[in-house]
Structure 1
Amino acid sequence: MKKSELRQEIKAKRKLFYETDKELKDRYDDELIEVLINDEQYKKAKNIFCYIGMDEEINTKRFIERALKDEKNISVPKVIKKHEIKAININSLNDLVEVPPFGILEPRDCNNVMEDIDLIIVPGLAFDNNGGRLGYGGGFYDAFLEKNSKAETIALCYDFQLLEYIPMDEHDIRVKKIISK
């Protein structure tokens, strides 16, 4: 199956899950976050980069709040230009604003860049057990992961997002660990 077809299929499954059982989705999100905060990579990490989960995605806001409470340095993505994001430090979710056209939450400014990242929480539509990742097709995260190749990487996903095989191109970067529910 082509990447574009896989994207459509997984988006449809994720949307159905979100729309039909928000209570179960919330419970799964909490359980995934609990496994993540008990992971050795999280415990060792001081500087963490995490995407902001929207609607159908895993709610990473809960993770970010917990990490800040645990006195971790947290950065989130800010789109700088086409195919480029920077890791911007935040002190609170209140440091974020909705950015059109999709209402994605981003830091207000891009002044406080996190340079030395220990752990990256990687978004994706689907993953495989070899660390293969199907992103949204923009190339933002592959470029970011390549620049931050020393960081540990963890992806969170629902079981239906964990596939037998993800088609990979030469520029695609694998994640090191996947936590699923």
Structure 2
Amino acid sequence: MAPSLIWGKNMRSKKECRKEALARRALMSAKEREAAGRRITDFLRDSEEYQLAEKILVYASYRDEVPTYDLIEGALREGKQVFCPKIEGQAGARTMSFYRIMDPEELQDGFQGIPEPVVLQGRHYETGKNSRDLILMPGTAFDRQRRRLGYGGGFYDRFCRRAQGAVRIALCFDCQLLEELPEEETDIRPERIVTESGWI
């Protein structure tokens, strides 16, 4: 049985919201994206959640997403354990796992061209209830109630249910914030969102 949508007044579909937010994001110039990304990274690195984190689970940015490579390199220099996601399995039964990387060069094109770890043996992240772990979530659209739309695969929602003790923070540009998003019962909200303007 499909999960039920939780609708607000005059709610648009997830597809419509994704389309609008992605179109807005695509209009940002490379210079604007880089400057906004630096501000987001600075806000994040100054946060207690980041400073206390021993393990950082972070996506490797792709195309016009909030950039994460400077963040990854900084966390590695600080001695934090950095884990990046990899999509595994066949169509219809795909899952997302995280693997530790020691260097950004260990990331290569994987599922749908997205950078993924290539060294896997002995590097798997074990989900549990460690409150010092920090998950940095990407997404297509967000609102100020911390609702989040991913890319439609549900990978982060399923993973976050397994990693219940970890802190969840989403990275997004201001232009990706919409007034109100539809939400399903299975959707997982980040505990905080950071944009180039600050925290939500």
- Whether these two folds match at TM > 0.5 is yes
Across the aligned residues of Structure 1 and Structure 2, the Cα RMSD in angstroms comes to: 1.3
**Are 2:21 and 2:178, in contact at CA under 8 Å, matched by a contact in 1?**
no
Per the TM alignment, residue 163 of structure 1 is displaced from its structure 2 partner at its CA by 2.1
1:84 alignment partner AA:
T
Tell me the alpha carbon deviations over residues 100-134 of structure 1, each in whole angstroms, 9 at most, x when there is no partner. Answer: 5x321111143211225610000101112222101
Per the TM alignment, residue 83 of structure 1 is displaced from its structure 2 partner at its CA by 3.8
Aligned residues: 177
Tell me the alpha carbon deviations over residues 1-32 of structure 1, each in whole angstroms, 9 at most, x when there is no partner. Answer: 10011111111111121xxx211211111111
1:38 alignment partner AA:
D
Ranges in structure 2 where 5+ consecutive residues have no aligned partner: 1-11
Tell me whether 1:105 sits opposite 2:120 in the alignment: no
2:134 alignment partner AA:
L
1:72 to 80, 87, 90: 80
**Are 1:83 and 1:138, in contact at CA under 8 Å, matched by a contact in 2?**
no
Measured in 1, the distance between the counterparts of 2:94 and 2:27 equals 29
What percentage of aligned pairs have identical amino acids? 36
2:40 to 7, 18, 32: 32
Per the TM alignment, residue 173 of structure 1 is displaced from its structure 2 partner at its CA by 0.4
Query: More helix per residue: 1 or 2?
Result: 1
**Are 2:172 and 2:195, in contact at CA under 8 Å, matched by a contact in 1?**
yes
Measured in 1, the distance between the counterparts of 2:64 and 2:120 equals 26
Q: Which structure has the larger Rg?
A: 2
- Runs of 4+ aligned structure 1 residues displaced above 3 Å come to none
Measured in 1, the distance between the counterparts of 2:120 and 2:158 equals 18
2:166 alignment partner AA:
A
Ranges in structure 1 where 5+ consecutive residues have no aligned partner: none
